[in-house]
Chains A and B, each alone.
Chain A
């Protein structure tokens, strides 16, 4: 199982991902492929994301049962805590937490 979420991505990248994955909501893509195909798909995102940002999550055999990685600027950034991968939510530039 594999999920990709795009924000602010150019249409041609969104179309490209729809070649292999199902766009179940705007910018949310799901599919079920091997690691090799997943790498190939992620390469497309790396090349085409431009000013947008993206995250990919997939099922794997670790403690959490899944892993993920991100691309581009976003307030949510992955952090390592006690060997577990979590997400930190950064405050806005002006310091408000929200």
Chain B
């Protein structure tokens, strides 16, 4: 009996492909590799360890072994609807760093600290300091107006007829083309953002501007990048009005992510936002007990399990 292979470990998010979409097929593990088997028995290998998140469209079935492998290499599995609207998401058991979670929670719970972080988020997003002495509520109002204006400007630039942002998932087909393209595009952005937030060891639900949703923090982080990455892509495709708009949007998003080096920037950006609170991450209390079995060294990000 020959020796076993070394254990599988995640690699950093910044070295990965952004997203891969998989439709129709059985996801399984063959000889230790992640494969999609279609109904004709055609096998397609997916380099799962080199992808930030896998978007599973309707028509996919996933075996237990496949999910276990994805988790082991720290890849997020995101179940999406036909048009790229998120249905449900699960995946890598990441985000498991108590020090970061406590740090994030402390920033979110203290109103002064939260305001600092929110101001930083707006500053990063609009490239200038927001007006001083405003509450989070007031800032949100200013942001809303500014976002509507930005949509108008970009729609004009790409020659798209734009009324308002509207995403009623129950009446998907009634949404106009620009809105549907935008929803498909933001779903891509949320996928990679969630993978990065989990990999960095933070909690997706603990938001600063957005609250009360499982992905509140994801929306906060994604908003910083939204107008430079996915919105132009969505409007550019919408202006052409092709029959397979959603698919084109996804391909466009992937190019946009590569061009803007999104995966390299996303975790440092999160750190920078939270650093605006000007507190240091908590140190473990003196009487705390260190792990009996220390974690093995890993190439992955801080929140990846190794």
Chain A residues with CB below 8 A from B34, complex form: 18-19
User: Within the complex, which residue of A10, A11, A18, A43 is in contact with B45, where a contact is CB–CB below 8 Å?
Assistant: A18
User: Within the complex, which residue of B2, B33, B47 is in contact with A31, where a contact is CB–CB below 8 Å?
Assistant: B47
Chain B residues with CB below 8 A from A18, complex form: 31-34, 45, 47
Choose the segment among B8-16, B120-128, B194-202 that binds chain A (4+ C-beta atoms closer than 8 Å).
Answer: B8-16
User: Within the complex, which residue of B6, B29, B47 is in contact with A20, where a contact is CB–CB below 8 Å?
Assistant: B47
CB pair A40 B9 closer than 8 Å: yes
Name the prevailing secondary structure of the B interface residues: loop
Chain A residues with CB below 8 A from B29, complex form: 15
Instruction: Flag whether A50 is at the interface (Cβ < 8 A).
Output: yes
Of A14, A19, A50, chain B has the most CB atoms within 10 Å of the CB of: A19
Residues of A26-85 whose CB lies within 8 A of B? 31, 33-34, 36-37, 40, 43-44, 47-48, 50
Of B3, B29, B32, B48, chain A has the most CB atoms within 10 Å of the CB of: B32
User: Within the complex, which residue of A11, A13, A19 is in contact with B8, where a contact is CB–CB below 8 Å?
Assistant: A19
Instruction: Flag whether A21 is at the interface (Cβ < 8 A).
Output: yes
Count of chain B residues near A, Cβ 8 A:
23
CB pair A37 B5 closer than 8 Å: no
Instruction: Flag whether B30 is at the interface (Cβ < 8 A).
Output: yes
Alpha-carbon distance between A37 and B13 when the two chains are bound, in angstroms: 12
Alpha-carbon distance between A40 and B49 when the two chains are bound, in angstroms: 12
Instruction: Flag whether B69 is at the interface (Cβ < 8 A).
Output: yes
Instruction: Flag whether B299 is at the interface (Cβ < 8 A).
Output: yes
Q: Which residues of B contact A (CB under 8 A)?
A: 2-6, 8-9, 11, 15, 29-34, 45, 47-50, 69, 73, 299
Q: Which residues of A contact B (CB under 8 A)?
A: 10-23, 31, 33-34, 36-37, 40, 43-44, 47-48, 50
7 new A-B pairs (CB below 8 Å) besides A18-B33, A20-B50? A17-B33, A19-B33, A19-B73, A21-B47, A37-B11, A44-B6, A48-B5
